[in-house]
């Protein structure tokens, strides 16, 4: 049986201090939501809470960006490169055969691109070389019919070149995106803390006498507790993400997230920002299903692969409707 253990309604950021602070944010959110009627009696507190929740959401979104892997993008890039190289080389070789038969040494040398040379070329150089091959062949397309080069093949090559110009930048862009997210997290925490300390904490003074329990609970939640988590997950597999409305893109709180297979299950609920997180203690790679339940929305399910020590992001866009 899969030993599904506990979960923490927070996410793993860069430091334990930030992780503990985000955990405090979650507890404060729960306290405020549980006392929404009282909060509503002070409009400025409602506004401050909304601004603070939005900042918390930005922190979590930045962290999810950190967790995104570039492996899939890198594999896609390698596949596109291989196809571009094979297609470009085949046309270049045909042009060389034509040039040799017609004793056109300049053309022969101009498109002399061995497959290994194309494969080793830097991204922009590969694009330039393949474009040169295309242009030279296109100028002789009628003469090259007997050599296996057709207008359709040249159109295909041009399409691969155009796609390569975009695809070759994708992994680099993902890495840059992660760096931007990492750099933004301390700034977002600073802004969130400012809202808490300078607005929400101050406005809570309205309840010290009239609602002492709410007041005391709020400031108890404001205390940061060291959760004692180390930098890694150990044998735990982590799944986190957001649930949103597929049409409005609004966060959906209270969505039941169910991680299960034939041997066990774990259930958690999304918070007010639509965020959820699950941690599962595993001894080996395990397959499971991740599904959603929320009244008024169609259920959704997808297979996931859980790997000890690894985190993954699984976002859900839910469609309104009744269960079929």
Question: What average pLDDT does the segment 132-139 reach?
Answer: 95
Q: What's the number of domains the chain is made of?
A: 2
Residue-by-residue DSSP string for 66-114: HH--SHHHHHHHHHHHHHHHHHHHHHHHHHHHHHHHTT-HHHHHHT---
Q: Please name the helix (run of DSSP H) or strand (run of DSSP E) that holds residue 279, with its range, or none.
A: strand 275-281
Among candidate residues 168, 183, 202, the one where a domain is terminated: 168
60 in any annotated domain: no
In the numeric block, which tokens belong to residue 189?
């925490």
In the numeric block, which tokens belong to residue 120?
């080793």
Asked if the model's pLDDT at residue 14 lies above 70, the reply is no
3-state secondary structure of 277: strand
19 in any annotated domain: no
Name 105's Cβ contacts closer than 8 Å, sequence gap at least 6. 99
- The more confident residue out of 207 and 64 is 207
Phi, psi angles (nearest 5°) of residue 167: -65, -35
Question: What average pLDDT does the segment 149-163 reach?
Answer: 90
pLDDT digit string, tens, across residues 232-288:
566 788 888 888 888 888 888 889 999 998 878 898 888 877 888 888 888 888 899
In the numeric block, which tokens belong to residue 67?
């967790």
271 in any annotated domain: yes
User: For residue 16, what pLDDT band results from cuts at 50, 70 and 90?
Assistant: low
- The tokens 């040169």 sit on which residue? 132
> Cα(119)–Cα(132) distance, rounded to whole angstroms?
16
pLDDT digit string, tens, across residues 17-37:
777 787 788 888 888 888 999
Among candidate residues 118, 146, 168, the one where a domain is terminated: 168
Lowest-confidence segment of 39-48, 119-128, 174-183, 285-294 by average pLDDT:
174-183
111 in any annotated domain: yes
Give residue 197's pLDDT. 93
Q: Is 46 left (phi over 0), alpha (psi -120 to 50) or beta?
A: alpha
- How many beta carbons lie within 10 A of that of residue 62, not counting itself? 20
Angle at 120 between CA 78 and CA 169, to 5 degrees: 45
Is-contact 270 252, C-beta < 8 A? yes
> Cα(129)–Cα(124) distance, rounded to whole angstroms?
9
107 in any annotated domain: yes
Give residue 108's pLDDT. 95
46 in any annotated domain: no
Q: Could you tell me which of 87, 233, 91 has the C-alpha nearest to residue 161?
A: 87
302 in any annotated domain: yes
Give residue 292's pLDDT. 95
Domain of residue 285 covers 232-324
81 in any annotated domain: yes
Alpha helices of 196-248 — where are they, by DSSP H? 201-203, 212-221
pLDDT digit string, tens, across residues 86-134:
999 999 999 999 999 999 999 999 999 998 889 888 888 999 999 999 9
User: 236 and 162 in one domain?
Assistant: no
């Amino acid at each position: 049986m899969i030993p599904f253990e506990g979960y923490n309604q927070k996410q793993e950021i860069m430091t334990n201090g930030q992780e503990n602070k985000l955990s405090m944010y979650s507890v404060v959110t729960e306290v405020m939501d549980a006392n929404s009627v009282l909060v509503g009696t002070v409009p400025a507190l409602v506004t401050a809470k909304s601004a603070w929740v939005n900042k918390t959401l930005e922190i979590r979104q930045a962290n999810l960006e950190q967790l995104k892997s570039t492996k899939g993008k890198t594999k896609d890039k390698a596949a596109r490169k291989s196809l571009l190289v094979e297609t470009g080389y085949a046309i270049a070789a045909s042009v060389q055969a034509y040039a040799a038969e017609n004793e056109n040494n300049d053309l022969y040398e101009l498109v002399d691109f061995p497959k290994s040379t194309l494969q080793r070329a830097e991204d922009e150089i590969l694009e330039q070389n393949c474009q040169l091959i295309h242009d030279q062949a296109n100028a002789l397309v009628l003469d090259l019919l007997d050599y296996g080069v057709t207008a359709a093949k040249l159109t295909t090559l041009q399409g691969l070149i155009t796609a390569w110009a975009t695809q070759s930048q994708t992994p680099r862009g993902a890495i840059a995106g992660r760096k931007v997210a990492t750099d933004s997290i301390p700034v977002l925490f600073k802004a969130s803390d400012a809202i808490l300390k300078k607005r929400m904490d101050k406005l809570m003074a309205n309840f010290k006498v009239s609602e002492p329990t709410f007041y005391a609970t709020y400031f108890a939640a404001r205390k940061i507790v060291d959760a004692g988590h180390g930098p890694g997950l150990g044998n735990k597999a982590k799944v986190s993400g957001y649930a949103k409305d597929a049409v409005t893109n609004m966060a959906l709180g209270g969505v039941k997230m169910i991680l299960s297979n034939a041997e066990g299950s774990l259930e958690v609920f999304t918070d007010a920002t639509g965020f959820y997180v699950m941690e599962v203690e595993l001894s080996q790679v395990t397959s499971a299903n991740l599904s959603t339940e929320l009244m008024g929305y169609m259920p959704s399910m997808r297979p996931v692969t859980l790997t000890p020590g690894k985190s993954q992001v699984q976002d859900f866009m839910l469609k309104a409707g009744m269960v079929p």
